Structure 1
Amino acid sequence: MTNWVNFCRIVAVSAIVLIHSSSFYFYTFLVGSKAWWIGNVINSAARWAVPVFIMISGYLIVARGKTDNIKDFYSKRASRVIIPTIVWSIIYVLFFKYAILKGAPSFGFSEALNKIISGRPYSHMWFLFMLIGMYLATPFFDAFFSRYNDKKKLYIISIWFILSASYTIAINFHPIRNTYWITWFILYAPYFLLGRVITTYKIPTYFAALVALLSLSATITGSYLVNVTNNTKYEFFYDPTSPFIILFSIAMFVLFEKANNIIPSSNLLNSLASISMGVFLSHPIFIFLIMEIAKPHIQNKPYLCLWIIWSFSLMSAFVFSYVLSKIPYLRKIA
C-alpha cells in the first residue's frame, strides 16, 4: 500500500475527531462570537475528512479485481464492516441511554432497536451503515468501470456529483422524509468512484491547493452568512455533498496523493493507519468524557479547551483501539 494512503487515513480520522471536538462551539455559542468562530473555522477546515475516507476506499477496491469472486468479496467485507457495526451499535445505544440520558426509563428496548434499525445508533455511526450499502453495490461499480473509458467515467461521476449536490440543496429548503440507510450510499457513490479515477489524471499541485483554499474560504464565509442571517445553527455548508465540500474534498485527496514521494514508510505509520477505524468508532466516548470537565471553561479559554478536548480524545481513542487490536476476539471491532 502506498505511503500516502496510510498517512491520509491517520490525518483524516484526526480531522474527524477535531470536527466532533469543535461542534459544541458551533452549536452552543452565539453566531459571530469568538467561540462560535472557532467552531465554524475548524468545522469548515476539517469537513473533507469523511469524503476522503470514502475516496480512499474506492481507490483501494474499485476495479482492482477484488470482486471477481463476489462471495469471497462479500464475506471479507462482512467481517470488516457488519461485525463492528452491530457491536458498536449496541455499545452506543447503551451509551446513549446511560451516559447521555442518565438511564432515562423513557428510552427502552424499542427505542434502542429503532435507532439501530434506522442506521443512527449514534451520530457518527451513519458512516458504517452507508458503507454497507456501498460495498453491496461495489460489484456493480466494477461492471461500470469495465464498460466505459476514463473520459466517460469522469463525465458520469461529474453528473452524479451534481445530482448529489442538488439533492442536498433541495432537502435544506424542502425537508424530505428520511430514507432507509441501505440507500444512503447513492449520495456518496461518486466519491467512491472518483477515488479510483482521479489518480489517472495529472492535476497540478498548485491548482488543487488553490481549489482547496477557495472552497475552504467559501465554506467559512457561507456558513457565517447563512447562520447570521437566519439566526440559527444551519450546517448546510458542512454537508459532505454540498458543492464547496465536494470541491474541497477532491482537492485534498489530490494533494495527499501527490505527497506520496515525501512521506516515508514506517511501521508506526502502518500501525496507526490499521487502527484508524477503531479510532473513528470509539472517539465520541472520549470526547463526551473530557467535555464533561471542559464545558465550564470553554467560554473563557476556547483555544486551550479545544486543544485539550481534541488531543485527549484522539490519543485515548488510538490507545484504546491499539489495545483492542491486540486482543484476539476484539480486534475485529478495532
Structure 2
Amino acid sequence: MVKQEPIYSFYYLRTISCLGIVLLHFMSGAIGLYGSVISQNELLISQIILNLLLWCVPCFVMITGALLLDKNKQLSLDKILKRYVLRILEALLFCCIIFVVYDVIVHKESFDLYTVIQVFLDFFQGSSWSHLWYLYLLIGIYLLLPIYKVVTKGASDKLIKYLLLIYFVFLSVIPMLETIGIHIAFYIMVSSVYPFYLFFGYALHHGIISLKRYQSFFMIVLSTLCIIFLTIFNQENSHYNLGNVLSNYSSVFVIVQSIGIFSLVDSIKWKNREWIKKLDVLTFGVYLIHMLFIRSILKYLSINPFLNLPVVTISLLVIVVFILSLLTVVILKKVPIINKFI
C-alpha cells in the first residue's frame, strides 16, 4: 500500500476550523448569558459572527470525506469499528465523565451513585454538554462508511455529481422553501445534510468537481454578504422567522460558504511546516475540552466580555481558551489510555 503524503491544506483548514469553533461557542455562550443586557447592535453583530462561523463543522466533515472515501484508502469493517468508531466512543465516555465531575465540583454536590448513573445517561441519551453532538455524528458517519465507500468506489463521476445534486435540492433547497411558506411534497429518505458534505469533500479534493480559485472566492464573498444581509433583515423583521435559513448547516448559504472555503484552502499549495502538522494533531482534543474553559470564564468567573472593548476582550479570551485547551491536550496525550483517543 502506498503511504499517503501529508495534505497540509487539511492541517491548516482543521486548525482554522477548530479556532473558529472555539470562537463560535464562546460567542454563543456569551449571548446566552449576557444577551439580555447588551445593546441591540451588539446582539446583532454577535449573531452575524455566529452565522458566519457555521462553515467550520461542514469543513471538518468534508475533510473526513476527502480522506476516508478515497478509492485508494483501504478500510476494512474491522478497522472502521476498532479504530474509528471505538475511538469516538471512548472520547465520548471520557467527556461525559469529565463534564459530570466538573458540574458536581462547581455546584458543590456530593459524589454518589446518581453521579455514576448520570454519566451513563448522558452517554446514551446525548444529554451531556451540547457540543458533543458532533461525536454522535461521527459515529453515525463511521458506521455507514463501508457503504459510502462502495458508492465512491463503484460510481462514475457523473453519478457522484447526480447524488450531490439530489442531496442539495432535497436537504437544503426544499427545506429553505418550506421556511418561507412554499410547501413541496417531494422528499427523500435521508434526514441529515452531513452525507452531502462528506461526498462533496471527496468530490472536490479528488477533482470530480473542480472550482477555480476565483470561483471559490466569489462563493465565499457572495454567501457571506447574503448571510450578513439576511441576519440584519431577520432581526428587523422577526415575523419572517428566517432562523432556519441562516443558523442551520443545511442552509444554502452555509453550504455555498463551506464549499467555497474548503475549495479555496485545498487549492493553495501550502508550505510543508511541521508546526501546523503538530498543531493539527491536537485539534480533536481541543474540540472535546474547550467548553470547560469557556464555561468557567463566562459562567463561573462571571466575565461579561461585552462590558469593555468587546472586540479586544472577546479576541483575547478566545485566544486564552484556545491556548489553555492546547496545553491541556498536550498534557492529556501523555496520560496512558487517554492518549489513544484524544
C-alpha deviation, 1:125, in angstroms:
0.2
TM alignment of 1:179-218, pairs within 5 A: 186-199=192-205, 200=207, 201-218=209-226
> In structure 2, what is the equivalent of residue 11 of structure 1?
16
What TM-score, normalized to structure 2? 0.84
AA in 2 matched with 1:239: N
Which of the numbers 130, 134, 146 marks the counterpart of 1:127?
134
More deviation, 187-196/165-174? 165-174
Distance in 1 between the 2:30 and 2:45 partners? Answer: 7
Consecutive unaligned residues in structure 1, runs of 5 or more = 175-182
> In structure 2, what is the equivalent of residue 318 of structure 1?
326
8 A Cα contact 1:219 1:238, kept in partner: no
Q: What's the % identity of the aligned pairs?
A: 21
Which of the numbers 235, 240, 249 marks the counterpart of 1:240?
249
Query: What is the root-mean-square deviation of aligned Cα atoms in Å?
Result: 3.1
What TM-score, normalized to structure 1? 0.85
8 A Cα contact 1:6 1:269, kept in partner: yes
TM alignment of 1:241-280, pairs within 5 A: 241-259=250-268, 261=269, 263-280=270-287
AA in 2 matched with 1:204: K
> In structure 1, what is the equivalent of residue 185 of structure 2?
none
AA in 1 matched with 2:28: S
Task: Name the larger-Rg structure.
Answer: 2
8 A Cα contact 1:145 1:153, kept in partner: yes
Distance in 1 between the 2:134 and 2:201 partners? Answer: 17
C-alpha deviation, 1:170, in angstroms:
8.3
> Equivalent residue of 2:303, what SS?
helix
Q: How many residues align?
A: 322
> In structure 1, what is the equivalent of residue 55 of structure 2?
48
| Structure ranking higher in helix proportion | 1
8 A Cα contact 1:55 1:196, kept in partner: yes
CA 1:290–1:91 in structure 2 vs 1: closer, same or farther (change >3 Å)? same
CA 1:257–1:265 in structure 2 vs 1: closer, same or farther (change >3 Å)? same
TM alignment of 1:51-70, pairs within 5 A: 51-66=58-73, 68-70=75-77
Distance in 1 between the 2:177 and 2:240 partners? Answer: 18
8 A Cα contact 2:332 2:338, kept in partner: yes
Which of the numbers 163, 166, 173 marks the counterpart of 1:159?
166
8 A Cα contact 1:58 1:193, kept in partner: yes
8 A Cα contact 1:226 1:234, kept in partner: yes
8 A Cα contact 2:100 2:118, kept in partner: no
Which of the numbers 86, 90, 93 marks the counterpart of 2:93?
86
Distance in 2 between the 1:97 and 1:171 partners? Answer: 43
Consecutive unaligned residues in structure 2, runs of 5 or more = 1-5, 182-188
AA in 2 matched with 1:225: F
CA 1:185–1:29 in structure 2 vs 1: closer, same or farther (change >3 Å)? same
More deviation, 263-272/10-19? 263-272
Distance in 2 between the 1:184 and 1:85 partners? Answer: 25
